[in-house]
Chains A and B, each alone.
Chain A
Amino acid sequence: MYTKTLNFVENKRLELSDSQLKWEIFFKRLLIVMSAILVLVIIGVLVTLIQKSMPSIKSLGIGFLWGKVWDPVQNIYGAYPFLIGTLLTSFTALIISIPFSYAIAIYLGEYNQKGWLSDLLKNAIELIAAVPSIIYGFWGIFVLVPIVRSLEIKLGVAPFGVGICTSSLVLAVMIIPYSASLGITLIRMVPSPLKEGAYALGATRFEVIRNVVLPFTRTGLFAGVLLSLGRALGETMAVTMLIGNTSAIGNSFKEIFFGPSNTMASVIANEFNEADHDLYVSALIELGLVLFFVTVVVNLIGKRVISKASKN
């Protein structure tokens, strides 16, 4: 009763009809329900992963994380080689991509903000993100692998062509757009009075970028890089085609870096279809769980850095 009168009073005040008000309430509830569904989905994924990997967690314990042997025939499962493979490819890709994404962000954010060239470049970068990853895989096999192989012959390591090095190169290309486009937006948001002040004091363009723009956007750019790392960690198809898919891990860094390896995502993609016993399937799902956590942690760190940056 009470609410009804209240509604009535409010209606009078705002001059809203009952149907308008109903629609208002309905719309708000719809939004809440939609967002709640998304949250439920992600929680559901996590619960399923945990539940399905329980047999493997119980039988293998925490040793799963640093076991070095992955042998489905003997039911020995260790994620260590894949953890190393995943982290090594992703961070190498990140290091390679940083100069490119920073350069693009600075050029399009500061030097060339408008005009056909700027539009062309920006569209081209967005296109990089839109190309399906299997196409990067093909490109890698036909173009990058022979190049890396000839490099490996010159360096005197086993000339496999495929491996961590090749995968990192392809991943680097794939993740550039993620950090670059965030970088462009951030750099364009630098307040002009700051820059104009610096110019007025006689600073050159390079000095303005080094002393005003970059310090102002540093944390944001870093966060963009971390977000692109999340993409690199989970990339499956292109990496599976180029990494060489070997569970054995090399002895020296040179051997590991130029040699074939495996990432968590590529192992799952390769073996899940034909995994023929329960513990095997469960171990693969636990691998997915580990990947889930690694990606979540990286994303959380990225978000934290962003929120700190925006407070400053």
Chain B
Amino acid sequence: MKIVKSLKLMVVAAAASSLAMSVSAQDLKGAGSSFVNPLFQKMFSQYTAAKVDYQSIGSGGGIKALTEKTVDFGDSDAPLNDEQTTKIGGASAVLHIPMTSGAVVVTYNIPGVTAALNLTGKDLADIYLGKVTKWNSPEITATNKGVALPDLPIVVIHRSDGSGTSFIFTDYLTKVNPDWASKVGKASAPNWPAGLGGKGSEGVAGLVKQTPGAIGYVELAYAIQNKMPYASMQNKGGKFIAPTIAATTLASNVAIPADTKVSVTNTDNEKGYPIASFTWALIYKEQNYGGRSKEKATQLLKMLWWNIHEGQKFCEALNYAPLSKSAVKAAEAVLKSATYDGKAIL
């Protein structure tokens, strides 16, 4: 009897799983940035209208998957570069929709110093270029009067793996220091002129914590969760801004172009924190491809619409910065421009 019973159970289980399989064929699939993954997981667990399966494989991988049309949407911490744009079918083929913004903070380990340092972008770039090598050099003490900075060599720490965080960081340095722009430039894994590489945020954080005199950079959320000290950065307006969620949101509260492909590092907003960036969901503008149903295209757009409105309330608890008003407006316009057979979906 027991055997019969367990056999019956097996049949039911098999039927149930095959049923689940057939449902999951209708699920929305996404892949890309690992930076946005915790937020997406939270959002998609709360979103009831469709099941969304997001794989955090890195921005580059997400773009590749979308180019190969194996996912419904990608997510990248940087807008598509020229080569990626050509491959995916031109600039008009794909839409960038800002999902949230994040800040990259500069963290350090100076024995005896607990105060938050003030740094300018130019000096930060000079530190990463290996030109400023001591914590008590005049460039740093000039903006930190009253802080007793020791005569300690600066150990520069950067990400060793290709990462959106590095892209945002180097994008900022490129804007504020011409020397950096000509020698290194912006990339998710540039040719770092100085210092050590740590793998992942935890690798950078580990090296910074262990090495006296170290300076490194991690996402704001990571620094807050791990109680690491971080510097206030001087923005374009000349103010030193502490990285907070509010200051990160303000960074993107600027005029946003219609395609939303804008770098908001070194923001014009004078209360904004300067090392911040959007992460973008990427979808095809024309949704009728590869035999997709109109139903699925509508589902996808509704989900993204929900993300930029109701979904934003999950940002702050996870230390992401909600989209600014101007960003939401721009994102709405972009979503409305998506078509199925040339006709608007939303």
Tell whether A71 is near chain B: CB-to-CB under 8 Å.
yes
Within 121-172 of A, Cβ neighbours of B (below 8 Å) are at 141, 145-146, 149, 158-162
Stretch from B16-24, B42-50, B106-114, B204-212 forming part of the interface with A: B204-212
Asked whether, in the complex, the Cβ of A141 is within 8 Å of the Cβ of B206, the reply is yes
Q: What is the total of A-B residue contacts with beta carbons within 8 Å?
A: 102
Inter-subunit contact B199/A274 (CB<8 Å): no
Is the CB–CB distance between B191 and A71 below 8 Å? Answer: yes
**B81 to chain A: which residues have CB within 8 Å?**
276-277
Query: B78 — nearest CB in chain A belongs to which residue?
Result: A276
A275 touches B (CB below 8 Å)? yes
Please determine whether A245 and B197 come into contact, CB atoms closer than 8 angstroms: yes
Q: Report the interface size for chain B: residues with CB under 8 A from the other chain.
A: 37
Contacts of B199 in A (CB 8 A): 240-241, 245, 269-270
Answer whether residue B89 sits at the interface, using C-beta atoms and an 8 A cutoff. Answer: no
Q: Which residues of A contact B210 (CB under 8 A)?
A: 141, 145-146, 149, 161
**Which residues of B lie under 8 Å from residue A160 when comparing CB positions?**
155, 196, 211
- A contact patch SS: loop
Interface string of A274-292 (1 = CB under 8 A from B): 1111100000000000000
Instruction: Out of A149, A162, A244, A276, name the residue touching B188 (CB < 8 Å).
Output: A276
Looking at the assembled complex, report how far the CB atom of A147 sits from the nearest CB atom of chain B, in whole angstroms.
Answer: 12
Is the pair A278, B191 in contact by a Cβ cutoff of 8 Å?
A: no
Report, as a range, how many residues of chain A touch the other chain: 35 or more
* Given A270-B197, A274-B60: A161 touches B84 (CB 8 Å cut-off): no
Among candidates A248, A262, A278, residue contacting B83 with C-beta atoms closer than 8 Å? A278
Q: How far is the CB of A39 from chain B (nearest CB, A)?
A: 30
CB-CB under 8 A from A42, the residues of chain B are: none
Question: What is the bound-complex CA distance between A141 and B185, given in angstroms?
Answer: 30
B262 sits at the interface (CB 8 A) = no
Identify the closest chain A residue to B206 (Cβ).
Answer: A141
Nearest CB of B to A263, in Å: 12
CB distance from A108 to the nearest CB of B (A): 36
**Sample (17) of A-B pairs whose CB atoms are under 8 Å apart:** A70-B191, A73-B184, A73-B190, A141-B206, A149-B211, A161-B211, A245-B198, A270-B160, A273-B161, A274-B58, A274-B61, A274-B161, A274-B188, A276-B81, A276-B162, A276-B187, A277-B83
Q: Which residues of B come within 8 Å of A, CB atoms?
A: 57-61, 63, 81, 83-84, 153, 155, 160-164, 184-199, 203, 206-207, 210-211
Show the binding face of A for B, using Cβ within 8 Å. Answer: 69-74, 141, 145-146, 149, 158-162, 240-241, 244-248, 260, 262, 266, 269-278
